[in-house]
Amino acid sequence: MFSLRILAGVNAGNVYKLRGKLTTIGRAAASSVQILDGRASKRHAQVRFENGAHSLLDMKSKNGTYLNGRAVKEATLKAGDRVRIGDTELVFEECEGDHVVDSAQHRKRVTPYTHGETMLISVESLNPEGGQVSADGGRAYDNQNLLHDFSLLANTDASLPQILEELVNIVFSAVGPDRMAFYLYDSKEEGYVPEVAKRRRSVQDRPFELSMKVFREVTEGKKAVHCSEVATDQRFNIRDSVVMQSINSMIGVPVLIRGQVLAIIYVDNCASGLPLSVEDFRFLTVLSTLASVVLARHLQDIRPAGA
């Protein structure tokens, strides 16, 4: 696998693995590699993977895309190539070393909770430091970069849909659940509605419904909930939707703004997937704290019933 590492610029030190056939680069919050550079265009460049090779393409940017000092419209990339966008310099390189370990491979070595254990924690009591996310150097490095990049959205003009798209991408990159939903409080409906949801193709046919027991713990108790094995947890029974959906583990985390739960981050893995781990739980609780800051200006007028 190859990656882009930022050598110079606001995001210096960040590493972005090139997954899939298309990686977008630019100032837009929805970019795969967001460049916080005033001289970068919102949709500045792309890296495409075709026929076993990566190519760099300029997307008609205002200030151009440079490869090893030369302005290019399209060029094949090789390890060690330097890309400059505005005042930001990146290097195209192979992923080697612990600091760029593929999180999907690392997940297989994560030790989950004891059989059937449920954990609840007050989000307000958390210290949102990136170093708390993981004790493992490789995964912690990746996750700290993701959290750092997301926090920077608080100082941009990113729209709510752009922020939520970035949030979903971060959750799937760091946690890799089968399904994820972001529930937002709707004052007209006087309840929480799924503002955005995503699921893997392998579970497209499964109904998506949040357990009311988890829902009450998160919204009324203002607690982050982690259940590592739903089927054996005494809090759930055969009539509960989570069992009927063959979910093996889940995490629900509140997003608190002015002390009120205005949104919920929910993820789960189905019976065939790996259980969501303690590290996943900690990552999402930290992400929810950052989300409350990033989303504050968009949700400032929302008041849940009874607030």
What are 51-97's pLDDT values in tens digits?
A: 889 999 999 998 999 999 999 999 999 999 999 998 889 999 987 54
Could you give the count of Cα atoms lying within 13 Å of 289 in the half-sphere of its Cβ?
A: 18
Burial class from Cβ neighbours inside 10 Å (0-12, 13-18, 19+) for residue 24 reads: middle
Residue 10's pLDDT is what? Answer: 65
Which secondary structure element, helix H or strand E, spans residue 218, and what is its range?
helix 212-219
Burial class from Cβ neighbours inside 10 Å (0-12, 13-18, 19+) for residue 66 reads: middle
pLDDT reading at 15 higher than 50: yes
Burial class from Cβ neighbours inside 10 Å (0-12, 13-18, 19+) for residue 119 reads: middle
Which SS3 state, helix, strand or coil, does residue 171 take?
Answer: helix
What pLDDT digit, counting tens, does each position of 102-116 carry?
A: 322 322 222 222 333
Q: Are 247 and 230 in contact (CB under 8 A)?
A: yes
| Closest alpha carbon to 8 in 100, 93, 86, 98 | 86
Q: What's the mean pLDDT in 12-28? A: 84
Residue 120's pLDDT is what? Answer: 47
Residue 253's pLDDT is what? Answer: 93
Residue 232's pLDDT is what? Answer: 63
DSSP string, 121-165: EEGGG----GGGS-SSHHHHHHHHHHHHHHHGGGGS---HHHHHH
| Closest alpha carbon to 218 in 118, 115, 134, 116 | 118
Order of strands, sheet of 22-26, starting from the edge strand that comes earlier in the sequence: 33-34, 22-26, 45-50, 53-58, 74-76
Residue 11's pLDDT is what? Answer: 67
pLDDT reading at 41 higher than 80: yes
Residue 214's pLDDT is what? Answer: 80
